[in-house]
Amino acid sequence: MNKGQNPQRSEWRQWRQFAVLAEELHFGRAAARLHLTQPALTQAIASLEAALGVRLFERSRRQVALSAAGEALLPEVRELLRRAQALPALARSAAQGESGRLRIAFVSTVGFSLLPPWVRAFRERWPGVALELIEATGDVQRDLIASGDVDAGFVLHAPGDSAPGLQHRALVTEPLVLALPEAHPLAARTRLSLAAVADEPLVMFPRRILPEVFDELMRLYRTAGREPNVAQEAIQMQTIVNLVSAGLGLAWVPQSVRQFQRPGVVYRPVGLPRGQAVPQCETSLVWRDAALSPALQRFIDAGRSQ
């Protein structure tokens, strides 16, 4: 090897020389294809064999044939060279956001509404980008996004809530509604009052999931002179609704959860006295600004048509 020559580049050249000689089984013809002199090709193959510690070719005055080691290596070398040839195009494709991999986290509520058409539109437009979808609550997502373990996430949070270092694209703001068992006496009403439901047992999400929204609900009850009767906690909205169907209590859920049509459960808006408002929550797509890759930008843009 010449002084200053890149050893990896030299190895790639030697593997190509091996593959061409394996096809031609003739040093003269292989050297001509490679634009080398025959002695230079002979020396290169001898150097490769010395490095491997095996003979790749059986030579005689009349013919050149692959050895057992050469036969075993040839398919692997051809695949290696094929993949190496594809690397520049792959790099250009990834740089343009046309290939690669994205890890997208989501809260369960977007699975009822935003997520399916968004993912469908992206996959139809950019099939070369692999999507890995990870269901996680908002508090977990913020850690995953900040650490780079996911590229972006659909996060449920209080309106206007944001975190330093993260970019937010607000998508939907919606009020909470009450989910209640279809057989419950209050289910016959089209609209409920807080006074009517204040003493009912609740299936609630933990405070850490939506702290501001949780606190606002607690204030509503206490302003009305009642203490919330939290009978059961659950993390995922589907689980909460399933527990409502089992008769464990009523549940405050985002309005979009209505699309989760669980048999035995109905959803009703709650009216409050003048000057009070039902808590709202917001769904945003969140990502680290420093981690905005071309593929992620294309994913963000895919939702603009939704």
pLDDT in tens, 114-137: 999 999 999 999 898 999 999 999
How many domains is the chain partitioned into structurally?
3
Confirm whether 2 is domain-assigned: no
Confirm whether 52 is domain-assigned: yes
Confirm whether 215 is domain-assigned: yes
* Among 74, 95, 116, residue at a domain's last position: 95
Q: In the prediction, which pLDDT does 7 show?
A: 40
Within this chain, do residues 167 and 117 fall inside the same structural domain, yes or no?
yes
Confirm whether 46 is domain-assigned: yes
Within this chain, do residues 87 and 132 fall inside the same structural domain, yes or no?
no
Segment 258-283, tens digit of pLDDT: 988 899 999 999 999 888 899 999 99
Confirm whether 81 is domain-assigned: yes
Contact status, residue 116 vs residue 110, Cβ threshold 8 Å: no
Segment 197-220, tens digit of pLDDT: 999 999 999 999 999 999 999 999
Token digits for 119?
């993912």
Q: Residue 159 is part of which domain span?
A: 100-171+283-305
Segment 16-65, tens digit of pLDDT: 999 999 999 999 999 999 999 999 999 999 999 999 999 999 998 888 99
CA distance 34 to 58: 20
Within this chain, do residues 243 and 192 fall inside the same structural domain, yes or no?
yes
Above pLDDT 70, what percent of the chain?
92
Confirm whether 146 is domain-assigned: yes
CA distance 241 to 261: 9
CB neighbour class for 134 (10 Å; exposed up to 12, middle 13-18, buried from 19): middle
Confirm whether 237 is domain-assigned: yes
Q: What is the mean pLDDT of the chain?
A: 89
Q: In the prediction, which pLDDT does 164 show?
A: 81
Within this chain, do residues 22 and 165 fall inside the same structural domain, yes or no?
no
The size of the chain, in residues, is 306
How large is the average pLDDT for residues 142-147?
A: 92
Token digits for 286?
């969140």
Contact status, residue 202 vs residue 253, Cβ threshold 8 Å: no
**For residue 148, what is the domain's CATH number?**
3.40.190.10
Within this chain, do residues 204 and 268 fall inside the same structural domain, yes or no?
yes
Confirm whether 114 is domain-assigned: yes
Within this chain, do residues 108 and 26 fall inside the same structural domain, yes or no?
no
